[in-house]
Structure 1
Amino acid sequence: MNEDTVTGLAKRNIWLRGLLMILMGLAYQLTGTVLFIMAIIQFVFALVSDAPNPRLAMFGRSVGRFQSQIANFVSFASEDLPFPFTDWPSGD
């Protein structure tokens, strides 16, 4: 490969990454909304039953980890693509 080919591939990769960053930013906003709605539901559960729902807590933890993966990707702190390119983060 010559230098022009390598430069062309790098430019194509940065544009692809830019597109993925936009899509992941939209996913971050969507999961933020889901997390907010889930927090309200969890609060109602805690009011009614005097204890939070453990399944919702585990799901909330996994959503938070997903948001962390997105933040790391869009800020160039990580090259690892988040879900759906990898497995959904566990809530354990």
Structure 2
Amino acid sequence: MQEQINEHLKKPSTWKRIVFIMLFAVIVGLVRVVLWGIILLQIAYTLLTGNSNKNILDLGKKLAAYLYHILLFLTFNTDDMPFPFSDWSTTETLEIPNKYKSDN
């Protein structure tokens, strides 16, 4: 058992993932701040015009999808790294990965 633990601790891929997890944890904090700014902008726009702004809606949707993809990576639900290590276009899909598909 101890040998297996030592073997896992020596795997470079594990340490590489830990570094990326720390990087994306910082990015999550930044994205959350930007999302709150978008929320406040949308509220102000709606109060002033009575309608929501399509551009702000689109930006909010894309950032929410990006945050979703980061959280999937952080929680080990996917091995695909989010932007900037993949195309931005992959963040526009909100599909749940089938890595550990349940039989419910």
Q: Same fold (TM over 0.5)?
A: yes
Q: TM-score, normalised by structure 2?
A: 0.75
Higher helix share: 1
Counterpart contact for 2:46–2:53, Cα < 8 Å = yes
Higher relative contact order (CA 8 A, sep 6+): 1
Q: TM-score, normalised by structure 1?
A: 0.85
Counterpart contact for 2:66–2:92, Cα < 8 Å = no
> For 2:50 and 2:81, how far apart are their aligned partners in 1?
39
Displacement of 1:72 in angstroms is 0.4
Displacement of 1:26 in angstroms is 0.6
Partner of 1:29: 29
Displacement of 1:86 in angstroms is 1.1
> For 2:54 and 2:75, how far apart are their aligned partners in 1?
32
DSSP-derived class of the 2:44 partner: helix
Partner of 1:67: 67
Note the aligned Cα RMSD (angstroms). Answer: 1.7
Does residue 13 (structure 1) correspond to residue 13 (structure 2)? The answer is yes
> For 2:57 and 2:86, how far apart are their aligned partners in 1?
22
> For 1:61 and 1:87, how far apart are their aligned partners in 2?
16
Alignment: residue pair count: 84
Question: Once the two structures are superposed, what CA deviation does each residue of 1:10-29 show, in whole Å capped at 9, x if it has no partner?
Answer: 71111010000000011011
> What runs of 5+ residues in structure 2 fail to find an aligned partner?
1-6, 94-104
> What runs of 5+ residues in structure 1 fail to find an aligned partner?
1-6
